Amino acid sequence: MKTSRSVLFLALLAASASSPAQSPSTPPAARPAPAAPAPGVSTSLLTHAFMTAINRHCGNAYAGRVLVDTPATPDSPFAGKPLVMHVRDCGDDEVRIPFHVGEDHSRTWVFLRVPAGLQLKHDHRHEDGSPDAVTMYGGDSSGGRLTNKGLIRIEFPVDAESIASFKANGLPASVANTWAVELSQDRFVYELSRPNGRLFRVEFDLANPVVPLPPPPWGTTP
């Protein structure tokens, strides 16, 4: 079984490396339906596929755009501002990706290998580098897929520690959060959803690195 899964993983990575690039500017409705999930993909294989693929982008930054914001957020902090992700700190067991929103450098996505698979945390800082009152929230992977065309999707339901933090800080809607990421040859998607219909998705163009690189996130030295 381990041998067959290894062969499947190598075949999927080869498909991802050789498939033609698709411009993220294409409207979502115009894209073909996602490929069927590859059978028999374990949590460990899914985690390994994601960490291997994202580490290929180490050091690069990419521009993004909001695909979905439903229901529309009043005074959205993302509206009309350049969005940039920077695969800044990399390794086999941890990858840190600052998410820059205009001149706001407070957000960093932290991906960690854990016994359950992969963990996503959100490191939020003030401009002076001090932690925000609501920081290091997220969850462990509980589902996802690795398709025949090299698309990796992993979902992260909110964990108990984050629920306690949200309740303590007056954020009751966030206790139902599920985050997800999608990674393919030419795009990265970050997603937040809730059962009440809330959906936020932002997409980044991995085919075109941006220069100059953004500054370090708040709380991090150059």
* pLDDT 10s digits, 148-206: 888 999 999 999 999 999 999 999 999 999 999 999 999 999 999 999 999 999 999 99
Return the pLDDT at 140. 97
Q: What is the pLDDT of residues 13-54, one digit of tens each?
A: 444 444 333 334 434 433 334 444 455 578 889 999 999 999
Query: Could you tell me the two tokens for 183?
Result: 């990674």
- Give the H/E segment covering residue 94: strand 94-101
Sheet strand arrangement including 117-124:
137-140, 117-124, 104-114, 94-101, 83-86, 61-70, 199-209, 187-193, 178-183, 152-157, 143-146
The pTM of the full predicted model, rounded to 2 decimals, is: 0.83
For the chain, percent of residues with pLDDT exceeding 90: 73
The mean pLDDT of the chain is: 86
